Amino acid sequence: WIVPLASDKESFYFAGHYFGIVHPFAYRMCFPLKITMWFRRRILCQAAPVFDACASHLNAPWAATLMREACPDAALAVVLRRPEEQNISW
Whether the model pTM is above 0.75 = no
pLDDT over threshold 70, residue 29: yes
Distance CA 34, CA 41 (A): 11
pLDDT over threshold 60, residue 76: yes
pLDDT tens-digit series, residues 30-67: 777 888 889 988 999 988 777 777 777 777 788 888 88
Q: What is the pLDDT of residue 9?
A: 58
The DSSP result for 5-27, as a single string, is TTTTT---TTTTTTTT---GGGG
